[in-house]
Each structure stands twice: as C-alpha cells, then as structure tokens.
Structure 1
Amino acid sequence: MVSPSNFPENLTYFSDALNVFERQTAHFSQICVAYSGGLDSTVLLHLLSQSPQLKGRLMAHHVNHDLQENASEWVKHCDEFCLNLNIPFQSSKLQWPSVKREGVESVARKLRYQALTKGCCLDTNVLVTGHHQRDQAETLLLNLVRGAGVSGLAAMPSIKALSTKTGSAQHYRPLLHIPYLKLKAYAEHFHLTWVEDPSNVLTCYRRNAMRQEVLPALSQYWPEVEKTLARTADHMSEAHTLLNRMAKQTLEPITGKAFYFDFEQVVHLDWLEQKNALRYWLLQQFNLTLSARHYKWIKEVLSQQAESRNSAFSYRLKQGELRFYHKRLYCLKNNLLPYLFDVDFSINILGEGQRLALHLHDDVIKTAPFPLMASERYYDWHIEADLVSQVPDMKVRNISKEDDLNRKKLKSFFQKNNIPAWERPYWPVLSFDGVVVAVLGCFSCVKRLGKYDAEQRGGEKKSQPVVLLSVSQHECYRIMTGGKPKSLDRNVKNSVSILGKQLHC
C-alpha cells in the first residue's frame, strides 16, 4: 500500500480526488466498485485500496456481459487482481432480453446497474464507477447531437442517488474530472494490468464513434477540447441545479401534487415556468423525462381545452400514459385492477375524538394510532351506529356496476370532487355480507341506508349516530392500486387515518 501523500507530482490529481471521496463517504458502511477490468476501473479500484479509511469497506463487483469469447478470462483476471489487493470480489452474469427497441448499449447499461445495485440501500451503500473527463466530454457531445436540454448537457453528475428495480445506492464518480491520459500515467506508474474490450474500437456504437473519430478530429483544432467540454458540463450542471430549485419553489404551495399536476394552480405563470415545474414534478414523482414532442402535445392540449368539450386527452408513453382530466395532468404507469381487502380493527377503540391510521399489510387493512394531518385531504366513510359492530367482518373493495347505489348522486360526487373517469370504476367501498354499506366520501350514494333506517324504526325516519372513517387521499390511491407503493411524498409514511367520533346527521 502506497500512501497517497507520497504520489509523484504528476499524480496529485488522484490524491486530491481520494481525499475528497474519503470525506464524502465516511458514513457509508460498504463501497462497491464497479470493476470491469478495464483501465479506468482498474485505476479506480487500486486508488481506493490505498486508503486505510476505505480498505475495509471496499468490495469489487464485475458484471459479465457474456458478449465476448474471452469474457470468462476477464472474470478470472478481475478475481486475481482483487485477491492481490485483498479486496472481496463478486461477479454477475447478465441474462439478456430482446434488445431490438433499445439497442445493445442501452440495454447493457440498464442491466449492468441493476446487477450492481442488487440488494443495496441508499443509506448504507455506495456504488463507485471509474468515469473520467473524456467520458464526460463524450456524454455531453452525445446528448448535444440528440438535442438534449440543460439536464442532458450537464452530462454525468459526480454524485447521484441511483435506484433500479433491484436496489438503490449513492452513485459516486471520483475520477470524473481527471483526464484519460492521467489514468494511463497512474496505471504505468504502479505497473497495473488491465483488459481491453475489442468492441471498444467498433464505431457502429455511437459512443465508440465519438471516442474514435469525433473527439480526435476536434482535438486537432482544440487540443484541450475534452477539458473544455467537461467544464461546459459543469456550467450546465449549475444551471440545472438552479432550475430544479426554482421548480421546487413553484411546487411548494401546490396541492395534490403527489397525484397529478394541476395547471389551474400555475395559471399565473408563463409556459416556460410551467414547463420547468412540470419537468421537475415528473422526474421526482415518476423518474420520467419527457421529450420536446411530449411538451408540445401538453401545450397544445392546454390551448385546445378552452374550445373543446373533450377533457380526457391522453398520450401513450413507453413507460405508461399521460392523461388530462380538465386542467389536471396525470401520469399513469399501471392499469388499475379490481381489489378486495379485509378490515381488521377493534370496535372498542372507536370513541369520541379517537384517531387511528389504516394501513395495508399483507392484504389486510389494519389500524394504528395516528393523528389526522391538516395538510392532507380526507374522504369519509359513513358507518351507521347499528352497523359498527359488523365493521370487522366488512370488506374494502372497488365499486361494481351491480351495486345498488344512487347513481345520480354518485356521479355528482365524482364530478364535484374531480375524480377522473378511469378511477371511478375502482373507487373504494365498504361491503358487508355482499352489500355496499358505505361509499368513500359519499354518504347519500348508498340507498340501502335510508331503507334500513326506516325499517329499524317502524317506518319512521329518524336521525341516527354515524361513525366517520376518514381516509386520506394518499391511502385512497394506495387502495385503488391494490396496495402497491406509489411515488408519493416521502414525508407521508402512514397515509390513511380514521377519525372515530359519534355524529348525528
């Protein structure tokens, strides 16, 4: 092990980068190095192994793409290199789906990061990759020629929260500002060996073409073009940060933003500010980035709505669907399906002023103490006192066409509360013995209650006690999606509350 403070003068880039990385990752328990066996990841792994602060937390992960004849030899090389450094090593072999729609490069990147983050957690795990200054320049140019905006021209951030289907981690790129030639100098100084991927010279791949042909041509006229482009990416990153900050401020007073983007609440802003807020909302809530044609469609819908009776414009996406309901834009990633949940809570806890939280756990709706939040919107389930004792035997399910309800009042309720047409067939109801006893938010929708009330009192209609079960908008959505987690405000962990108090109607 060589102390970074003893690095030669031409390698001070690396000691500086290592010092910064040590400070940034002091609180993380595990640091996973994405180790392909190539030059950049070899230099990165060796550099990090020189730090006593990092050594005990390092592990190397090699992803075998299984696209080259000597792929198994690369795994062996990586294993031996890690053995010499006394660093734990693991290897994953990719299972390839069809690549017709996205191409090999895109699919490989997605699968690689899924393998690298499998089982990782944002709070404890760091994923480190060896991207360097030339990679940054290539990324900026690739995004530039496809017409990217500020976010794309910011290229790769040095630190980013990375989430995939298999796990999450903080993604660090400690070598991002180090020139490629410096990496070669480092490897030569420490006599490191690495593997060469023969596919890197194939210019049929766009990044390879940028590296092998475009950047060398630019370097003939601008020798420091890689450094200059990387600096431009830094400027764009600052601009992107400011745009995000502005968008966040715009969204702060807006209600309902966990479920839809309401243009009525930003009508005082011009299109550029609306677009910036919408961009940030889609990214934060759904990890979705739209293209110029999508924003063009949204702008056209907004202008057409004033003259059209149609309020249900829609646009199919690869990741789902954009739908308008009046001035609200929804992003739908999954179709709603029928659902059925049991109700599990004790009646004796329902008392004057009692507050509880409903949550879905193992397909059962249960309760826990939790106060109603002033910032939340709630819908009420009205349960007549005579039926309260039956609540533990009730079911929560989606509404059905066969339910005996006052359809006129139900329609009025949906319209008054701006419930979109596609959500109405899945609106939650409480049923007992196969009969609906409560519609969420609409007491007058249940015809049976009035009949039951009169029969129990010898035909004389009297007011009777009602228990209100107040369900938040967050949990209403969660129920309608079958208990699946949604991309909602992270501060709202328990998203259903019950207020049990006796009222007279």
Structure 2
Amino acid sequence: MDAAELAGRLTASGLANRYWIGYSGGLDSHVLLHQCARLGLADGRFRFAAVHVHHGLQPAAEAWAEHCAKACSELNVPFRLMRVDARAAPGQSPEEAARDARYRAFEALLEEGEALLTAQHADDQAETVLLQLLRGAGLAGLAAMPESMALGRGRLLRPLLAWSREALQGYAEAHGLRWVEDPSNRDTSYDRNFIRREVMPLLAGRWPGVAATLGRTARHCAEAQSQLERLAEDLLLAAGAGGPEGTLSVACLRRWQAPEQRLALRHWLRHAGFRAPSAAVLQRIVAEVLTAAEHRNPHVAWREGEVRRYRDRLYALRPLPPLDAQVVYPWDGRRPLVLPGNGVLRLLSGDGPLPVGWHGAMQVRYRRGGERCRLPGRQGSHALKKLFQESALLPPWVRERVPLVYVDGCLAAVGDLWLCEPFAGPGSGVTLSWSGHGLSYAR
C-alpha cells in the first residue's frame, strides 16, 4: 500500500481531526504505524498519534510498552500509554475481557471528529468469518469486521483489511522493522489461534485463495445485512409508535411472522445497548412473552438483561440490584437522598422552610404491604396496591421500587406520584422528585 492508497482509505468517510493508531508493538500494528508515519511526512493533512493499551496480562507487558514508546519516538509519532484492568468477569473469556477493556479505553480516548486505526488484515477477517460460522452466527456475524464504524465520539477504521498477513510480513522485512511477539499467539487452546495455525493452513493447501474468498463472503453478508437493517428500522418505527420511548407494541409485533418478529427484537435490543441475545432467548420472547394474555406480565431474562411485558408494551431492562424492604433511611429533606441502586429522592419546598406539617422525624423506606394513602379530594384512604392499579402510571417492577416518605411514622408521600393527607393540600408547598423511574430501562 502506497501513501496515496492509504490516504484514500483513511478519508473515505471524511478527513479526521486526528488519527490514533492502535499500536500493540506486534508485526501488524508496527506496519500500520510505519505507513502512517510516512504518510504524515508526505501529506500535512494527516495528524497521527499512537496509543498502546497496557493490559498487564503478560510478564513482558512493561517491556512491550517501552518498545512501543521507543518505536514511536524514532518515527516522530506522539505516543500515549493507557493502562486497563483486563481481568475477566465470571463467565467471561480472557480474550473477551481484554478486548472489552481495550475498546473501553479507546472509546474514552476518542474526541469528536477523531478516528482510531487498527491493523486487522485479510487473514484476520477470514479467521473471524470462520469463527462466526462455527458459532452459528447470522448475517451480522458473518459480515465480520467492517472497514469503518462508529466508536464512541469518533470512528474506528481498519485500513489494512485488503492486505494479507504475508504482504505485511514482506513489508516489515523490506523496511527492517522490529516488532514484539506475544507468546499467547502460539497457544492453540484459544479458538482464533487454532484456526490461524491449524485450520487456515490446511484450507489454503487445498484452496490457495481461501482468505480472499472468505473476505468476499464477509462483504456479501455485510451488504445483505445493511438491507435487513433498513427493514428493521421500518419495523421498529411501526412497533414503537404510540407508547413510551424505547418500548414496542405487542399487538403490532403479533401481526408479523416469526422472522420479522425476531428481526425487530434483535434490532430493538441492540438499540437499547445490549449485545444480540442467543436464538434461544429470542425464541422464548416470541413464544412466551408475545403470546401471553394481556393481564399477564411475563418476562424472559438472560445474563445481560431481561425483556418484560406490561399491558401492550415490551420493555428492555437492565438487571437491577434487589431492594431490602426492611431498610429505613433517616432524612432531613433538605439534601438529596441517594437511594443505593434506586436513584435520588429530592424534596422541594421553594425557597422557604419546610411547612409545619413536615417538621417531624422523616424516614424513607419501601413497600412492605398494607400501606394506605388518603389523597386530597377523595373520600377515605386507599391501599397503595389499588392506587397503582388504578393509575397505571408505572409498570409493576417499578412500583415496588417507589420510595415512601414518612413523617413521624405517617405516610406523607409516595415517591413523586402522590402526597397524602394531611401532608398535601394547597398550603403545603411541597413537591418531590425521584430519578428512579427509568433505572430499569435500557438506554
């Protein structure tokens, strides 16, 4: 790749304010760094800097960071080192944990109008297609790695996808480059390494152009996936109308065939910030949640979240920490009360002092059953359960999290929904705000 070709690939989606080179110190990223350094000298429009993410997972990690800093200094490319915690969470593979930590760092790094360059090449793309195929992925997975995509406030670009590993090796040797070798790349207990070292050579022996062929398959799948994305957007527009933002109409979904339902659900969950759930989870949503009777409130949960139904709407939810119904929070009402895992409660009484009726000992707790509230203008007191059912303001899973405010042991307020007599009325001057309504909604 010459300077003109690299410049064309980088500017295909518009010239960036700055290009960060994801530099591991290995062969591929060193070739990319070297090419960018040459382009920066030849064309003043391009502003490059390199970033090395220090995972701390290998004994030689410090030495690699030093190598990267030195290489960038020799090429006159600004260098930044970022240290991350790449320890795997329960149920997470080490590779996934390292990748997630790395890309979180990249997202935090990018400013508006900047781009991150990574050095994945044609052989990496072919390996990704095979991995996704063996995992039973659909079109989105088989489309593998796009050349350009949004990342944080900027973009991620992969300008070397048309180059083979062999071509990069030849470039590095021709220019006398020195790089580091990660010993974990030889460990075939990792799926990608097994495909790279065992499967791809076998396939290439029979079909010499296998990497290019699999790359072409990825492009075909990406094109087909883009068509499905447009269809999915139309489906979501239809199913999302007439209800709270981010929810879907069950009645609308029920009118469609199962493939359209699954397409809309996948797209909806991705918009809500979830990774695509398994086919089994999607099928359970279709079979159990969409078909349930209207008075039911079914839900399907998986590790990352859950889908719940309330009346005619589907809600995508993040897992919420359990609440202790026995906990009691003393409160003076003057400062916001932070409720662990349940938002913030504020009491607003204008610029003056609290009304006389609110001067007693104030506490905040959650429903335990049997609570009653006498609303202004209504005869008698009413059970909170009945009031919630009548108003239909909140889904059931939010109702149980509504904070209750007591003054001298008497129920004074139900979140920011109702003030109870005698703490209400035109002269009270008190209102409450609670930020917890949306805590369970994915965004």
| Alignment TM-score, normalising by the size of structure 1 | 0.69
Matches within 5 A, 1:16-415: 16-28=5-17, 30-52=18-40, 53=43, 57-98=47-88, 101-121=91-111, 123-163=112-152, 169-253=154-238, 254-255=240-241, 256=243, 258-302=245-289, 305-306=292-293, 311-335=296-320, 400=367, 402=371, 404-405=373-374, 406-407=381-382, 411=386, 413-414=388-389
1:297 maps to a residue whose letter is R
Coordinate RMSD, CA, aligned:
3.9
In 2, are the aligned partners of 1:323 and 1:329 still within 8 Å (CA)? yes
| Deviation at residue 138 of structure 1 after TM alignment | 0.5
Matches of 2:332 and 2:143 in 1, distance apart? 46
In 2, are the aligned partners of 1:390 and 1:432 still within 8 Å (CA)? no
In 1, are the aligned partners of 2:366 and 2:402 still within 8 Å (CA)? yes
Q: 1:480 aligns with which of 417, 437, 442?
A: 437
Matches of 1:153 and 1:341 in 2, distance apart? 57
Q: 1:452 to 1:236 in 2, by over 3 A?
A: closer
| Deviation at residue 68 of structure 1 after TM alignment | 3.5
Total equivalences in the alignment:
412
Residues 455-504 of structure 1, C-alpha deviations (whole Å, 9 max, x = no match): xxxxxxxxx8999x9x9xxx98x44357x9x655xxxxxxxxxxxxxxxx
Partner of 1:436: 412
| Deviation at residue 283 of structure 1 after TM alignment | 0.3
In 2, are the aligned partners of 1:342 and 1:364 still within 8 Å (CA)? no
Structure 1 gap ranges (5+): 1-10, 345-361, 368-386, 454-463, 489-505
| Deviation at residue 108 of structure 1 after TM alignment | 1.5
In 2, are the aligned partners of 1:58 and 1:88 still within 8 Å (CA)? yes
1:39 maps to a residue whose letter is L
Q: 1:262 to 1:103 in 2, by over 3 A?
A: same
Secondary structure in 1 matching 2:272: helix
1:289 maps to a residue whose letter is A
In 1, are the aligned partners of 2:87 and 2:98 still within 8 Å (CA)? no
Residues 132-175 of structure 1, C-alpha deviations (whole Å, 9 max, x = no match): 11111111110100101111111111122234xxxx54211111
Q: 1:389 to 1:265 in 2, by over 3 A?
A: farther
Matches of 1:47 and 1:235 in 2, distance apart? 29
1:125 maps to a residue whose letter is E
In 2, are the aligned partners of 1:320 and 1:332 still within 8 Å (CA)? yes
Q: 2:396 aligns with which of 421, 439, 455?
A: 421
Structure 2 gap ranges (5+): 336-342, 375-380
Matches of 1:80 and 1:55 in 2, distance apart? 25
Matches of 1:215 and 1:113 in 2, distance apart? 27
Matches of 1:170 and 1:64 in 2, distance apart? 21
Matches of 1:32 and 1:452 in 2, distance apart? 58
Partner of 1:7: none
Matches of 2:76 and 2:145 in 1, distance apart? 30
Matches of 2:69 and 2:263 in 1, distance apart? 47
Secondary structure in 1 matching 2:87: coil
Identity %: 31
Partner of 1:4: none
| Deviation at residue 323 of structure 1 after TM alignment | 2.6
Secondary structure in 2 matching 1:161: strand
In 2, are the aligned partners of 1:18 and 1:48 still within 8 Å (CA)? no
| Alignment TM-score, normalising by the size of structure 2 | 0.78
Q: 1:200 to 1:343 in 2, by over 3 A?
A: same
| Deviation at residue 399 of structure 1 after TM alignment | 7.1
Secondary structure in 2 matching 1:203: coil
| Deviation at residue 128 of structure 1 after TM alignment | 1.4
Residues 274-330 of structure 1, C-alpha deviations (whole Å, 9 max, x = no match): 211111111011233111110121122046514x97x23333322233333345332
Using the TM superposition, name which of 42-51 and 63-72 deviates more.
63-72
Q: 1:171 to 1:465 in 2, by over 3 A?
A: same
Matches of 1:277 and 1:39 in 2, distance apart? 41
Matches of 2:367 and 2:332 in 1, distance apart? 15
